[in-house]
Amino acid sequence: MIAKKIITLSCLFLVSNFSLYPQQEVVMSIKEGMPLIHVAIPKFSVEDPSPEAKDAADILYKVISDDLKYSRVFSPLPKNYYNYIKPLDPDKILFNDWESIQAKLLIVGQVSKQDDKTIQFEAKFYDVKSERFIRGKTYQAEKSILRLAAHKFSNLMMETYGEPQIFTTKIAFISNRDGSNELYMMDYDGHNQTRLTFNQEKDYMPAWSTDGKSIAYTEFKGGNARLYIYNPFEGKRKLVFDRGTSFGPCFSPDGKKLAFCSTEDESNSEIYAAKSDGTNIKRLTFNKSADVSPSWSPNCREIAFTSDRGGSPQIYIMDAEGSNVRRRSFGGNYHDSPSWSPTGDRIIYVSRVQAVFDLYILNLRTDEIIKLTEGYARNESPCWSPDGRHIVFSSNRIGTIQLYSIDYDGANLKRLTSKGQNKLPDWSQK
């Protein structure tokens, strides 16, 4: 069903990475519209009968299945297919059987208990037709972080097929679940929601640094709205800009620059760019209107942003130095929050029509616009996954503001949060 949906999509695009099978000389270039690769994932075998190992095998199996289903690259076979063939014997794989149920790839996993805390997980995947081992790895992980081990194996499969390794990426966001607006992060699938700031101040608009180690965000404190870069893994924080109201950070995909907004000049919001460590700040826009919400193009040569220089907020693109400004949104009077897809050919943005906010994707090559959400609500703050196949956004469709992920074609809508109000998501590149 999903495969059909993809095939019907008219626009194809190339993902820039090419890669080789390690043992087969096949160059893969994954395109949108490519049929999904059917993967057989028989239950992982458990070497010792301890309940811990069995539980671990269940978790690992579920996470890998969910990852691959989410990937839009692979497609796990329906479970009832496995009833038609003999159960897997890891020592003697009957590849013909697996081919007969349409499997292109076969994942074989073995789980064992190392000690009270540690689980060992050995996973391999095979090409069914050529009956060859492709790649495999053995992971050792504490029971509490088994999901991470599973995500790493899913990443290994993505890497083999030249795809960005999205399963260990994180989403930063703002939540008021513990009172005031604080900074949080979670796994791409909504698990492991972790509070990062404990400052009892109001934190706002986070953005991951390109290396996935730091987060730029605004802190409202004592009548100031200052922009900081915070490394939650080392607990270090650095002030970037403290004049005016400073907000809306966005790191360039090459990791060299940080664009943001400030109202330091005459209370008018303008766009600035700094080096990614926050130094060497230069102003990019100079006019009497408001310019907000910068988003870098994947080649870092252009910036999409919102400006009301034409009388209403609209999406514009400028060169990275601020020149050559051109308008890219028409036919509405309120467009904002552009996010440039990592594939380069699309910009997703918010359009307001009679106080209803929906997400739209503009194809920059064909000028085609696709309406992505139909929420009768406020769908806001869209941000692409690093592979350009998924989008995280906030919506108040259930009454409170929560985070959702959706695919580029409107499939797989999924709510990721439920406690308190959650908003302003930003998806890390790594």
Interface residues toward another protein, by CB under 8 A: 181, 202, 204-205, 220, 222-225, 244-245, 247-248, 261, 263, 266-269, 290-293, 306, 308, 313, 334, 336-337, 350, 352, 355, 357, 378, 380-381, 423-424
The two tokens of residue 58 are 């269940």
| 148 close to 141: Cβ distance less than 8 angstroms | yes
Name the residue nearer to another protein (CB basis): 104 or 378: 378
Q: Based on CB atoms, which residue is closest to another protein, 238 or 352? A: 352
Bridge partners of residue 45, in order along the sequence? 110
Helix (H, G, I), strand (E, B) or coil at 147: helix
Q: Are 18 and 27 in contact (CB under 8 A)?
A: yes
Residue corresponding to tokens 């993809």: 6
| Minimum distance, C-beta of residue 402 to another protein, in the bound complex (Å) | 15
Cα–Cα dist 121/102, whole Å: 26
**Minimal distance in Å, beta carbon 247 to another protein?**
5
CB of 147 to another protein, least distance (A): 30
Least separation in angstroms between residue 190's CB and another protein is 21
Closer residue to another protein, CB minimum distance, 82 or 204? 204
Token pair 């081990």 is at which residue?
A: 149
From residue 316, how far is each of 6, 126, 381 by CA, in Å?
29, 47, 17
User: 310 is written with which tokens?
Assistant: 């034409």
Q: Tokens 């009454």 sit at which residue? A: 399
Total Cβ atoms within 10 A of residue 395: 24
* 221: phi then psi, degrees, rounded to nearest 5: -150, 130
CB of 337 to another protein, least distance (A): 5
Of the two residues 331 and 399, which places its CB atom closer to another protein in the complex? 399
* 193 or 381: CB nearest another protein: 381
32 vs 380, beta carbon nearer another protein: 380
**Closer of 42 and 249 to another protein (Cβ):** 249
Q: How far apart are CA 122 and CA 57, in angstroms?
A: 11
What minimum distance in Å lies between the beta carbon of 248 and another protein? 6
Q: Which is nearer to another protein, 149 or 424 (CB)?
A: 424
Residue 255, by phi and psi: left (phi above 0), alpha (psi -120 to 50) or beta?
Answer: left
Closest separation in Å from C-beta 287 to another protein = 12
Measured from the CB of residue 358, what is the shortest distance to another protein in angstroms?
A: 12
Cα–Cα distance, 131 to 93 (Å, whole number): 9
Q: In sequence order, what DSSP letters do the residues of 173-217 get, joined into one string?
A: EEE-TTSS-EEEEEETTS-S-EE----SSEEEEEEE-TTSS-EEE
Round to whole Å and give the CA distance between 143 and 120. Answer: 10
